[in-house]
Structure formats: C-alpha cells, structure tokens
A = this chain, B = another copy of it.
Amino acid sequence: MGKRERAKAANREAILKAARRVFAQLGYEAATVRDIIRGTALASGTFYNYFRSKEEVFEALADDGARRFRPILRAARERAKDFEQYLESALLAYFRFVLEENRHEGRPVDERQPHLRTDTPEMTAIYEEVRLGIEDAIERGLAPRLDSDYLAHACIGLAQEVGAAMLRRSPPDPVSAARFAAGLVLKGLPGASRKE
C-alpha cells in the first residue's frame, strides 16, 4: 500500500478517534469541528477532505457501531432454533454491546450523542435486520402473524430505553435486562415478572 493511501486511512482514523474523545468529554452538542481537529495534528482545512460536518463524523461513528453490531444480530438470528431463543440472544447481545461501548470516561451517556435517530442509514439497516428476524419467525410459524413493522420498532425502542436504564444501575447487568425484555415481549407482563 502506498504512503498516500496509508496516510489517508490514518488521518481518517485520527479524526474519528479524536471525535470519540471530544464527544465523550464535551458532549455532542457542545463539540465543534475545531475541537475535533485540535485533537489531531491536522490543519482545520484538512478535516473537510474527510467529512463535511460534525454530523457526518457522528454518522461515521454510528455506522461503525452498527457495522460491528449487525453481524452479531445476524448470527443470533441464524443460530437460533426458535423465536424465543433469537429474542433472548439478540437482546442480550445488544445490552452487552451498549455496555461495552460505554465503558469510557466522560460526560453522562445521554449527552454524548444527539439522541439516537431512527432514520439514519445504519439505523435503518439495524431496523431491517430486526424486522427480517421477525418475519422469518412468522413464516416459519414460530411467531404469530403480526405487524412486523410495529413490532420491530417496539423492540428497538424498548431495547434502547431498557438499555439506557441498565447503564444507570450499578453494576449494570445485561443478563437480567435481557431476561426482563425478552420475557416482556414474549409473554407480556407475566413473562416479565421477577422470578424470585
């Protein structure tokens, strides 16, 4: 690989790395493009060779996260024998993922990001993956015939909020969060009850 190409990849990576740090420290809203490039050895103009805006940097970071998470989700879908197992492992994987992604220091989680939008490309991909898992299950007769669009959104919203609630506990426990969420979706309130 030529020097040119290597430098380009390194610069891009440097910007993303600095952005992660800056978002965590200042919060997404307060952060500026200047803050980010000051966290690198690059000049201000160079930033714009790589990204058009702070928003685009955030999207790249989110894309990155989604790109790492989607295969996990897909694997869960392919590995699962039934819908119950799929849901449980998918939710557990998600809660472990968010826990891992937030092991860093800095501002409260809620301020690091513009709250998760559902309409960015990478979120759409996750949504599609979830809906696919649901339709799969319906076709195979493992789940009742229902509105897979609503259900996918319901699962995502539920997972996001329960995940955030989990992060606020100490220690956060992905296993019990997943048990709760999966139980709720599968059997409703009775399924979400505390097993004591």
User: Interface size bucket, A side?
Assistant: 35 or more
**Interface stretch of the complex, out of A12-20, A65-73, A97-105, A146-154:** A146-154
A180 within 8 A of B: yes
Instruction: Give the residue among A115, A157, A196 with the most B Cβ atoms within 10 A.
Output: A157
**Interface stretch of the complex, out of A1-9, A40-48, A74-82, A187-195:** A187-195
B118 near A151: Cβ-Cβ < 8 Å = no
CB-defined contacts of A110 to chain B, threshold 8 Å: 117-119
Q: Find residues 138-193 in chain A having any chain B CB closer than 8 Å to their own CB.
A: 143-147, 149-151, 153-154, 156-162, 164-165, 177, 180-181, 184-193
Q: How many copies does the complex hold?
A: 2
Nearest B residue to A115 by beta-carbon distance? B115
A164 to B127, CA, bound (A): 13
CB-defined contacts of A29 to chain B, threshold 8 Å: 55, 114
B144 near A190: Cβ-Cβ < 8 Å = yes
Known contacts A149-B165, A153-B162, A177-B150, A189 near B115 by CB under 8 Å: no
Known contacts A161-B153, A190-B144, A119 near B108 by CB under 8 Å: yes
A188 to B161, CA, bound (A): 18
A10 within 8 A of B: no
Q: Find residues 85-118 in chain A having any chain B CB closer than 8 Å to their own CB.
A: 108, 110, 114-118
A144 near B189: Cβ-Cβ < 8 Å = yes
The one of B114, B146, B157, B180 that contacts A150, using a Cβ cutoff of 8 Å = B180
A104 to B110, CA, bound (A): 28
CB-defined contacts of A162 to chain B, threshold 8 Å: 150, 153-154, 157
CB-defined contacts of A161 to chain B, threshold 8 Å: 118, 153-154, 156-158, 160
What 5 pairs between A and B have smallest CB-CB spacing?
Answer: A157-B161, A115-B115, A188-B188, A157-B157, A144-B193
